A and B are shown apart, each in its own frame.
Chain A
Amino acid sequence: MSRSAPLIDADVHNAFADIRAELRPYLSRYWQAYADAHGIVVPPAGYVSPVGVQREDARTPSGGMAGSDPDFLIRDHLDRYSIDFALLTGSHVLGLSVHPDVDWGNAIATAYNQNLADRWLGRSPRFRGSIVINHSDPAAAVREIERCAQDGRFVQVLMASGSSRLFGQRFFHPIYAAAAEHGLPVAIHPGTEGAGTAGAPTPAGRPTRYFEWHNIVPINFMAHVNSLVCEGVFERFPTLRFVAIEGGLAWLPSLLWRMDKNYKALRAETPWLKRLPSDYIRQHVFFTTQPIEEPERPEHFLQVLEMINAPNNILFSSDYPHWDFDNPRMALPPLPAAWKSRIYHENAAALYGLTLDVPVAPSAP
């Protein structure tokens, strides 16, 4: 039997059928009582998808929350698309970073990671975990990274992209030091823009509806990537890699060009930068594909990829089982063969240290 080309999905959402029941055993008695009274509450952004966030067809056989049954997720997604590895990015927990009570946020983060290790990571060798941290308490985040990094099935650090501060600022540097020390990329994922202690989804205020909010999520990603470079994070932590999940990528040429142009005039403000800003982004920042931008003419998408040196920086992702899922077989336009292998598996394999079975020559039909 021939084997299809390798595929790594950099954004797959494991979920909870009953988050309180599943996390409760991992909470201290104090936080159990809190959860019993209030539930596992994290601040919502207040934007509700009119089509629902979870795909209706991805509900579990018993009718539960899409993504909440590991075995069904394997059948419904990994087997269907012959996915070699899925980076699990969780559901309904990233908002812990924008909860006003950092101790509660820390408690959920640890409980989530313990549950993930126990319930998911042992279920399939194709699952890889993200260490969810509370970015509002970097000291606690470092402890969580240190704890989870002992388990090699965790291959990255993950935090909410919603924040009251830009991620380049030195408040966050302990997180990057710990991640770099353990060789773990740091990823951000959207959803908390405008939630809890996070800033408004745009500097000009709050979008009115989910559609408008979802359109403009990239502005937050642009702000964070810009900050990471300008604050010298990649000079200070030269081995750190950063992953921008689900924040789009077609905006990147504009940011690269604007940063490089400004640097030629304004370098004196950031004398620690030794190279053009675009060089740091190309070397250190990775972008996942979903929800992929869809120009009217597909060749324009390829031109954007050329502008951003995409074959080295892009990771395929599906966002299963969310409403704006990208089908691995159909989402991207036809790509040059070398780009395809890099975007669909090689970049992620190198970034996360995943070993793929090298496909053998297809057998005769």
Chain B
Amino acid sequence: MAKHPVAKVSELPPGTRRLVRVGNIEVGLFHVEGRIVAYRNVCPHAGAPVCVGRISGTSLPSAVYDYQYGHEGCILRCPWHGWEFDLRTGEHLVDPATRLKAIPVVPPASPASEQLEPIPIEREGDSLCLVLPGESPNP
């Protein structure tokens, strides 16, 4: 397995995102509600670079003509067709079965880090490393 350093937690303050790339794999890192979450930068709908979309809140389910805003900072809106995804779950707000491709962010040597699919990101101290099959990159 090869660990590819992609970012530092300290570079990702609450509410921000970073787009990182290793080889052909693009990943969006998001600091949302105290957690670091990561998704492949490919929208499950039509292949758009979803992770560069606007992060916002959205209207909450409500009664007719009742307008309520919520989920502040938790909604990623795809730049191509406007589909809204909840960054906490990766789920599309209309059809939860449609989800962003999540990359688990795990401690080193956790069971998930041994798996090839989904590829994990190991978080150790301030370091975030994408774990891929193959040789480690040269230091």
Contact = CB atoms under 8 A, between A and B. Distances in A.
Main secondary structure of the interface of B (DSSP, over half): loop
B92 A232 contact: no
A236 B59 contact: no
Contact of A170 (B65, B66, B92): B65
B50 to A, nearest CB: 13
Given A263-B94, A264-B95, A267-B93, A272 B82 contact: no
Contact of B64 (A236, A265, A276): A236
Contacts of A263: 94
A296 interface: no
Given A265-B81, A266-B82, A267-B84, A231 B64 contact: yes
B110 to A, nearest CB: 35
A265 B45 CA distance: 11
B65 A268 contact: no
Contact of B60 (A232, A271, A276): A271
Contacts of A232: 64-65
Interface residues of A, number: 16
**Chain B interface size, under 10 / 10 to 19 / 20 to 34 / 35 or more:** 20 to 34
Contacts of B92: 264
Contacts of A267: 84, 93-94
A272 B81 contact: no
A268 B61 contact: no
A274 B59 CA distance: 12
Interface in A209-252: 231-232, 235-236
A62 to B, nearest CB: 52
Nearest to B57: A268
A269 interface: yes
B36 to A, nearest CB: 26
Nearest to B93: A267
A263 B84 CA distance: 11
B25 interface: no
Interface string B36-72: 0000000001000000000000111111111110000
Nearest to B70: A271
Contacts of A265: 81-83
Contacts of A271: 59-62, 67-68
Contacts of B93: 267
Contacts of B61: 271-272, 274
Nearest to B66: A272
Contacts of A231: 64
A232 B64 CA distance: 6
Contacts of B62: 271-272
A82 B52 CA distance: 65
B106 to A, nearest CB: 31
Interface string B72-114: 0000000001111000000011110000000000000000000
A267 B95 CA distance: 11
Interface string A249-282: 0000000000000011111110110101000000
A264 B83 contact: yes
A24 B65 CA distance: 43
12 contacts: A235-B63, A264-B45, A264-B83, A264-B92, A265-B83, A268-B59, A271-B67, A271-B68, A272-B61, A272-B63, A272-B64, A272-B65
Interface of A: 170, 231-232, 235-236, 263-269, 271-272, 274, 276
* Closest CB pairs A-B (n = 10): A232-B64, A265-B82, A271-B59, A272-B64, A236-B64, A268-B59, A264-B94, A271-B62, A268-B58, A265-B81
Given A263-B94, A264-B92, A272-B62, 15 more contacts: A170-B65, A236-B63, A264-B45, A264-B94, A264-B95, A265-B83, A266-B82, A267-B93, A268-B59, A268-B84, A269-B59, A271-B61, A272-B61, A272-B66, A276-B94
